[in-house]
C-alpha cells in the first residue's frame, strides 16, 4: 500500500555524464525524442521496426482492443533471421557472436556464421524428434553456448521455448514443464558451480515423473564416462544435431505468433507463463538494446544474467544478436576463484558494456576496491543495472570505482511481463542516484493512486503503464483471466506493475518496491505462495506464510512463519530439514533465510493469511487496516 510508505526525499545530487554519450542516431536529447514519440507513436515504432527484415510488411502498427494488443498486424518475420542471416549475409559473417568463458578458464568462440550453422542443424534435429511450429520445448540448461543454440533453434522452427533457470528444483521444474505442456525437454547432464559438478539430469528425471506430455529428453552429456541414455526416450544433444541436415530455412511466423513462454512467480497459485510474441518482442528487444544500452558494432557486451531469466532472454541473447553485437557470456560466480574474476574478464576481453544487478554490485562493495583496482577497466563505456532498486551507495560505488566517473550508470526498470526496458535514464542524460529515471520514448508511464489518477510529484503511488507497447506480454499461458487482472486496477485501463514508486519535480521515477507479496531476493522473483506450498508439502507443517524482509546485500531475504502439525515440535534439526525440503522442491534461491515457528497465523475471516500483518510485525511498522482480521 502506497500510503504505508514514508516517502521523504532528500535533495539528490545530479550527475552529468558527457553529452557525447547521447546516441545521435536516435535523438538529440531525451525531451525532444520523447516529444517526437508522443506526436506520432506509430511513426516512432515504424521507424525502429524498419531496421529489421520482415517477410511480409504489417498492415497497421498496433491494434488495441483493451486489454489485448496486436502489433505489426499481419506482418511475417522470424527473429532468428534478424539475429543470424541479417548479419551473416552482410558484413558480420566472421564477426564473433559469442565469447564464452567457463569457470575453469575454458573458452569457446562462435562467430555469427558458426552460430547460424549450429542453430540450423540443431533445429533440424528438433524437427526429427517431431517438434513443429507452436509446440512447447522446455530448456533446462546451464549458461553455456548450447543453451543459446537450443533457444534459437526453437525460434527457427516456430517452436515456443520455455527456459527454466537451472537452479530450480524438481517440483518447480515439473510445474513449468506441465504448465507449458512441453513436448521436449532439453537439458545437460550437469553444470558447474564453484568448481563443483552439479548433476542436473536426476532433477529432470524426478520432474518427469508426472509430466505426461513429454515425448523426448535431449541430453547434453558432460561427464566421463557419459551417462547412459534410455533408448528412444533420451537423445544425445550432439548426436541429434550432427545427424541432422544442415540447411534449415526459417519458419515464417506471424508477428503475433508466440515466440516464448517464460514463467514468473506470482503471489498466489502456480507460476505464470508469460507469453511473448515474435514481432513486437523482437522490435522491443532491438530498440532498447540499441538505444538504451547503446550497444555499438565494435562493442563487446556482457550481460551477467542467466538466460533462465527475462534479462538473459532480452539482453543476454535476443537484443545483442539483433543488433549484431559481440556477446560475452560467462558461467562465473562473482567471487570464484576470487573476487577479482569479473574485473579480470573485463580487462582480458576488453568489455565495453557491463549489465548486472545491484546485489552483485553490493557484494563487490563488500570485498573492497582493491579487487577492481588490480585490473585495467578502461574499456568500459556503459554500466547498467537491473532487478531491484540500485541504491545510491551502490550507484556511487559503481560510478566511481568501476566507471571511474566516465561511464553513465543506466538503472533499467522493467519486468518479465514488459519484455523490454520501460523506465531508465538514457546514456548522456543527467543521472540521479536512487532514481531509475524516466519512461523511455515509446513508453507512457505514471505514478497513480488506487483509482488510477495521477498523484502529484513527491507523493508515493502505484507505477502504471498507460499505453500498450510492442513487447508487452500478450497473455498468460492457459490463463487469460490472470492476464486481464493486470489491466483491471483502478478506473482507468492501465497496466498495473504492482510496484510502488514516486516521481520528483523533474519527472524522475524512484522505484520503492513491490505493492504485493512478491519477494525480490538478489533481483530474483520469489513467489510467497510457492515457498508456502513447498513448506506445507512437508509432513510436519500445517500452515506457512512467507514474507520478504529487507537485507543490505540481497535487497530482501525470505522469512517464513510455520505452524506445525500436532505431534511435531520445533527444533534446529526440523528447521534444517524444512530448509532442505524447500531447496529440493524449489531450488536454493527460494530457501527461507529465517524460519520462525508460531502457534497461529493472522488470517482474514475468509481464511486468507495476512502476510502484510506479519511483515508489519516483523519490521515494527503499522499493519494498516486490520479490520478483516479474524481474532
Residues 371-392 as b or e (16 or more Cβ within 10 Å = b): bbeeeebebbbbbbbbbbbbbe
Asked if 135 interacts with ligand WT7 (CB under 6 A), we say no
Residues 428-457 that bind ligand WT7 (CB under 6 A): 436
Asked if 412 interacts with ligand WT7 (CB under 6 A), we say yes
Q: How far is the CB of 148 from ligand WT7 (least distance, A)?
A: 18
Q: Considering beta carbons, is residue 98 or 384 the nearer one to ligand WT7?
A: 384
Q: Considering beta carbons, is residue 413 or 495 the nearer one to ligand WT7?
A: 413
Strand 68-73, strand 234-236: pairing: unpaired
Q: Considering beta carbons, is residue 122 or 483 the nearer one to ligand WT7?
A: 483
Q: How far is the CB of 8 from ligand WT7 (least distance, A)?
A: 19
Q: Looking at 327, 386, 464, 586, which residue binds ligand WT7 (CB under 6 A)?
A: 386
Cα 476 to chain centroid distance, Å, stands at 16
DSSP state of 314: I
Q: What whole-number distance in Å separates Cα of residue 528 and Cα of residue 549?
A: 12
Tell me if residue 310 falls in helix, strand or coil: helix
Q: Please count the residues of this chain forming the interface with ligand WT7, following the rule CB under 6 A.
A: 21
Stretch that binds ligand WT7, among 229-237, 369-377, 407-415, 567-575 (CB under 6 A): 407-415
Asked if 515 interacts with ligand WT7 (CB under 6 A), we say no
Q: In terms of Cα–Cα distance, which of 144, 400, 386 is closest to 288?
A: 386
Stretch that binds ligand WT7, among 2-10, 226-234, 375-383, 409-417 (CB under 6 A): 409-417
Asked if 425 interacts with ligand WT7 (CB under 6 A), we say no
Q: How far is the CB of 208 from ligand WT7 (least distance, A)?
A: 26
Q: Considering beta carbons, is residue 123 or 292 the nearer one to ligand WT7?
A: 292
DSSP labels, 167-213: TS-HHHHHHHHHHHT-SEEEEESEEEETTEEEE-HHHHHHHTTT-TT
Residues 226-265 that bind ligand WT7 (CB under 6 A): 264
Q: Considering beta carbons, is residue 380 or 423 the nearer one to ligand WT7?
A: 423
Q: In this structure, are residues 118 and 110 in contact, taking their beta carbons and an 8 Å threshold?
A: yes
Residues 295-334 that bind ligand WT7 (CB under 6 A): 309-311
Q: Looking at 525, 528, 533, 590, which residue binds ligand WT7 (CB under 6 A)?
A: 525
Q: How far is the CB of 10 from ligand WT7 (least distance, A)?
A: 18
Q: Considering beta carbons, is residue 402 or 518 the nearer one to ligand WT7?
A: 518
Asked if 147 interacts with ligand WT7 (CB under 6 A), we say no
Q: How far is the CB of 130 from ligand WT7 (least distance, A)?
A: 32
Q: Considering beta carbons, is residue 169 or 523 the nearer one to ligand WT7?
A: 523
Asked if 219 interacts with ligand WT7 (CB under 6 A), we say no
- Which residues lie across from 69 on neighbouring strands? 64
Which parts of 235-331 fold into alpha helices (H)?
Answer: 237-242, 278-291, 310-311, 319-323
Residues 510-531 as b or e (16 or more Cβ within 10 Å = b): bbbbbbebbbbbbbbbbbbbbb
Q: Considering beta carbons, is residue 388 or 467 the nearer one to ligand WT7?
A: 388
Asked if 514 interacts with ligand WT7 (CB under 6 A), we say yes
Q: What whole-number distance in Å separates Cα of residue 148 and Cα of residue 103?
A: 18
Residue 350: cis peptide before it, omega within 30 degrees of 0: no
Residue 341: cis peptide before it, omega within 30 degrees of 0: no
Stretch that binds ligand WT7, among 42-50, 86-94, 223-231, 413-421 (CB under 6 A): 413-421
Q: What whole-number distance in Å separates Cα of residue 200 and Cα of residue 325?
A: 31
Q: In this structure, are residues 73 and 59 in contact, taking their beta carbons and an 8 Å threshold?
A: yes
The C-alpha torsion from 481 through 485 and 487 to 492, rounded to 10°, is 120
Asked if 561 interacts with ligand WT7 (CB under 6 A), we say no
Q: How far is the CB of 523 from ligand WT7 (least distance, A)?
A: 6
Q: What whole-number distance in Å separates Cα of residue 444 and Cα of residue 439?
A: 6
Strand 272-277, strand 184-188: pairing: unpaired
Q: Looking at 497, 522, 533, 585, which residue binds ligand WT7 (CB under 6 A)?
A: 497
Stretch that binds ligand WT7, among 411-419, 466-474, 562-570, 578-586 (CB under 6 A): 411-419
Stretch that binds ligand WT7, among 233-241, 414-422, 439-447, 578-586 (CB under 6 A): 414-422
* Secondary structure of 598-620 as H, E, C letters: CCCCCEECCCCECHHHHHHHHHC
CA distances (Å), origin 302, targets 291, 352, 384, 526: 16, 8, 10, 25
Asked if 520 interacts with ligand WT7 (CB under 6 A), we say yes
List CB contacts of 316: < 8 A, sequence separation 6 or more.
Answer: 303, 305, 306, 307, 327, 329
Asked if 511 interacts with ligand WT7 (CB under 6 A), we say yes
Q: Considering beta carbons, is residue 326 or 416 the nearer one to ligand WT7?
A: 416
Which positions touch ligand WT7 (CB under 6 A)?
A: 264, 309-311, 386-389, 411-416, 436, 497, 499, 511, 514, 520, 525
Amino acid at each position: 500500500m502506497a500510503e504505508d510508505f514514508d516517502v521523504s526525499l532528500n535533495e539528490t545530487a545530479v550527475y552529468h555524464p558527457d553529452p557525447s554519450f547521447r546516441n545521435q542516431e536516435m535523438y538529440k536529447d531525451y525531451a525532444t525524442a520523447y516529444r517526437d514519440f508522443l506526436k506520432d507513436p506509430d511513426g516512432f515504432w515504424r521507424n525502429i521496426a524498419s531496421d529489421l527484415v520482415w517477410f511480409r510488411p504489417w498492415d497497421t502498427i498496433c491494434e488495441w482492443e483493451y486489454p489485448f494488443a496486436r502489433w505489426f498486424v499481419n506482418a511475417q518475420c522470424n527473429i532468428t533471421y534478424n539475429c543470424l542471416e541479417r548479419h551473416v549475409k552482410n558484413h558480420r559473417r566472421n564477426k564473433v557472436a559469442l565469447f564464452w568463458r567457463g569457470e575453469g578458464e575454458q573458452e569457446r568462440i562462435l562467430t555469427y556464421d558458426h552460430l547460424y550453422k549450429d542453430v540450423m542443424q540443431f533445429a533440424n534435429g528438433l524437427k526429427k524428434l517431431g517438434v513443429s511450429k507452436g509446440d512447447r520445448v522446455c530448456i533446462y540448461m546451464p549458461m553455456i553456448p548450447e543453451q543459446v543454440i537450443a533457444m534459437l533453434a526453437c525460434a527457427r522452427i516456430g517452436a515456443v521455448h520455455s527456459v527454466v533457470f537451472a537452479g530450480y528444483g524438481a517440483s518447480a521444474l515439473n510445474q513449468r514443464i506441465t504448465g507449458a505442456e512441453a513436448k521436449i525437454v532439453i537439458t545437460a547432464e550437469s553444470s558447474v558451480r564453484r568448481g563443483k559438478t552439479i548433476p542436473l539430469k536426476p532433477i529432470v528425471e524426478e520432474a518427469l515423473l508426472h509430466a505426461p506430455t513429454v515425448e523426448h529428453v535431449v541430453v547434453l552429456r558432460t561427464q566421463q564416462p557419459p551417462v547412459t541414455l534410455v533408448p528412444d526416450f533420451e537423445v544425445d544433444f550432439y548426436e541429434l544435431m550432427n545427424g541432422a541436415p544442415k540447411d534449415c530455412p526459417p519458419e515464417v511466423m506471424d508477428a503475433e505468433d508466440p515466440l516464448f513462454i517464460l514463467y514468473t512467480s506470482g503471489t498466489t497459485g502456480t507460476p505464470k507463463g508469460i507469453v511473448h510474441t515474435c514481432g513486437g518482442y523482437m522490435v522491443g528487444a532491438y530498440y532498447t538494446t540499441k538505444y538504451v544500452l547503446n550497444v555499438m558494432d565494435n562493442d563487446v557486451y556482457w550481460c551477467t544474467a542467466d538466460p533462465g531469466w527475462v534479462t538473459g532472454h532480452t539482453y543476454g541473447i535476443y537484443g545483442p544478436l539483433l543488433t549484431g553485437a559481440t556477446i560475452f557470456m560467462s558461467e562465473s560466480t562473482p567471487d570464484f576463484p576470487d573476487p577479482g574474476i569479473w574485473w579480470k574478464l573485463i580487462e582480458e576481453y576488453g568489455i565495453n558494456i557491463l549489465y548486472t544487478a545491484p546485489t552483485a554490485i553490493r557484494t563487490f562493495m563488500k570485498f573492497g576496491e582493491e579487487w577492481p583496482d588490480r585490473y585495467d577497466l578502461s574499456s568500459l563505456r556503459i554500466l547498467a543495472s537491473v532487478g531491484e532498486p540500485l541504491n545510491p551507495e551502490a550507484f556511487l560505488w559503481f560510478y566511481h570505482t568501476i566507471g571511474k566517473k566516465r561511464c553513465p550508470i543506466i538503472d533499467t526498470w522493467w519486468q518479465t511481463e514488459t519484455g523490454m526496458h520501460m523506465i531508465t535514464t538514457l546514456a548522456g542524460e543527467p543521472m540521479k542516484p536512487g532514481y531509475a529515471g524516466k519512461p523511455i520514448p515509446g513508453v507512457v508511464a505514471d505514478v497513480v493512486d488506487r483509482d488510477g489518477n495521477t498523484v502529484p510529484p513527491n507523493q508515493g503511488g502505484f507505477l502504471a503503464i498507460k499505453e500498450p507497447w510492442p513487447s508487452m506480454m500478450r497473455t498468460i499461458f492457459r490463463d487469460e483471466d490472470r492476464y486481464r487482472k493486470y489491466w483491471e486496477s483502478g478506473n482507468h485501463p492501465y497496466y498495473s506493475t504492482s510496484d510502488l514508486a514516486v516521481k520528483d519535480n523533474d519527472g524522475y521515477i524512484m522505484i520503492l518496491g513491490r505493492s504485493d507479496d512478491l519477494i525480490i531476493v538478489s533481483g530474483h522473483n520469489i513467489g510467497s505462495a510457492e515457498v508456502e506450498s513447498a513448506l506445507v508439502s512437508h509432513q510436519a507443517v500445517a500452515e506457512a506464510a512467507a514474507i520478504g524482509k529487507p537485507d543490505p546485500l540481497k535487497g530482501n531475504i525470505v522469512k517464513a512463519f510455520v505452524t506445525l502439525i500436532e505431534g511435531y515440535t520445533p527444533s534446529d534439526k526440523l528447521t534444517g530439514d524444512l530448509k532442505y525440503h524447500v531447496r529440493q522442491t524449489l531450488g536454493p534461491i527460494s530457501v527461507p533465510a529465517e524460519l520462525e515457528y508460531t502457534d497461529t497465523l493472522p488470517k482474514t475471516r475468509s481464511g486468507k493469511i495476512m502476510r502484510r500483518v506479519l511483515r508489519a510485525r516483523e519490521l515494527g511498522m503499522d499493519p494498516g487496516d486490520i479490520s478483516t482480521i479474524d481474532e
